[in-house]
């Protein structure tokens, strides 16, 4: 692997001892294992970091585990990305500790980034986890993702007349890949709690047109926030209006 192709996978994790193992096994099952995995333990007290370190001892690729005490997924992601870049990463992919990347995920991420020069953001495809829902539930989730993508494109604040160079695309932080150069150019992930995905995407949209979607880069997404908040509560969360009566983000 040349230095220009060096890929790191970043997984932020807060209180994910019950779920992280499945995510790590999904990464170990990747068809392309030519990457370094970095787990960022975001102030967990349930043994999340211990699980990651035990996995590192037998993983089929290099694994590093670091801690980020400042709570917030944006803090954990930004710390992880910058740590990887400082150690030579040129290509970066992210998923979350409650998600299951399908076996072709890392290969698809590398392929999608390969022709973008030093600047490219790739938005992958998310589907509902098969171990959380039956066919009907997964179909409902797919419909909600489609509606969310349509809303994002039609929302006046996202219109290109507001200074954006690229059209709005559905962007899930738990299934993304980006070149190190572009990540640094846009100032990194906002260091704050979720939601951060839309803020980051719009920062990239103000900087470049090189935003692509990869249908082959698939992650099975946990829907526990949807179950905890319901449709209206989840919409409120993603519109950055806070959790309302629901309290702390369940992820």
d(Cα 175, Cα 109) in Å, to the nearest integer? 9
d(Cα 165, Cα 159) in Å, to the nearest integer? 10
181 pLDDT above the threshold of 90: yes
Domain encompassing residue 37: 3-246
User: Predicted confidence band at 229 (pLDDT cuts at 50, 70, 90)?
Assistant: low
* Between residues 148 and 240, the one the model is more confident about: 148
Q: Is residue 251 part of a domain?
A: no
Q: Is residue 147 part of a domain?
A: yes
Q: What is the mean pLDDT of residues 19-33?
A: 98
| Nearest alpha-carbon partner for 48 in 80, 19, 16, 75 | 16
How far out from the chain centre does Cα 101 lie?
10
247 pLDDT above the threshold of 70: no
Q: What is the mean pLDDT of residues 11-28?
A: 97
Helix, coil or strand: residue 29: coil
Q: Is residue 211 part of a domain?
A: yes
88 contacts: CB under 8 Å, gap ≥ 6: 3, 6
30-65 tens-digit pLDDT: 999 999 999 999 999 999 999 999 999 999 999 999
Q: Is residue 193 part of a domain?
A: yes
Q: What is the mean pLDDT of residues 216-222?
A: 94
Give start and end residues of each alpha helix (H) in the chain. 20-28, 48-56, 73-86, 105-113, 135-154, 180-185, 197-205, 224-238
pLDDT value for 55: 98
246 pLDDT above the threshold of 80: no
- Domain tally for the chain? 1
Phi, psi at 216, each rounded to 5°: -85, -10
Q: Is residue 190 part of a domain?
A: yes
* Between residues 246 and 105, the one the model is more confident about: 105
> With a threshold of 0.85, does the pTM exceed it?
yes
User: Predicted confidence band at 115 (pLDDT cuts at 50, 70, 90)?
Assistant: confident
d(Cα 204, Cα 176) in Å, to the nearest integer? 13
210 pLDDT above the threshold of 90: yes
The CATH number for 235's domain is 3.90.550.10
In sequence order, what are the beta bridge partners of 36? 8
Q: Is residue 188 part of a domain?
A: yes
pLDDT value for 135: 82
Q: Is residue 212 part of a domain?
A: yes
17 pLDDT above the threshold of 90: yes
Q: Is residue 15 part of a domain?
A: yes
């Amino acid at each position: 692997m040349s230095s220009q192709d060096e890929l790191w996978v970043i997984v932020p994790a807060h209180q994910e001892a019950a779920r992280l193992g499945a995510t790590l096994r999904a990464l170990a099952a990747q068809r392309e294992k030519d990457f370094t995995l970095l787990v960022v333990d975001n102030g967990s007290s349930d043994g999340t970091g211990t699980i990651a370190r035990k996995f590192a001892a037998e993983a089929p690729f290099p694994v590093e585990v670091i801690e980020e005490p400042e709570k917030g997924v944006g803090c954990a992601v930004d710390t992880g990305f910058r740590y990887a870049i400082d150690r030579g990463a040129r290509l970066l992919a992210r998923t979350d500790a409650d998600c299951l990347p399908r076996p072709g995920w890392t290969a698809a991420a590398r392929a999608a980034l390969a022709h973008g020069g030093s600047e490219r953001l790739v938005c992958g495809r998310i589907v509902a986890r098969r171990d959380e829902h039956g066919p009907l539930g997964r179909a409902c989730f797919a419909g909600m993702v489609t509606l969310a993508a349509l809303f994002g494109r039609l929302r006046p604040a996202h219109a290109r007349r507001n200074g954006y160079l690229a059209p709005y695309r559905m962007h899930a932080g738990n299934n993304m890949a980006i070149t190190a150069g572009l990540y640094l150019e846009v100032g990194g992930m906002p260091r704050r709690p979720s939601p951060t995905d839309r803020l980051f995407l719009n920062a990239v949209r103000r900087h470049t047109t090189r935003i692509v979607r990869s249908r082959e880069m698939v992650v099975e997404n946990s829907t526990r926030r949807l179950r905890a908040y319901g449709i209206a509560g989840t919409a409120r969360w993603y519109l950055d209006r806070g959790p309302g009566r629901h309290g702390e983000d369940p992820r």
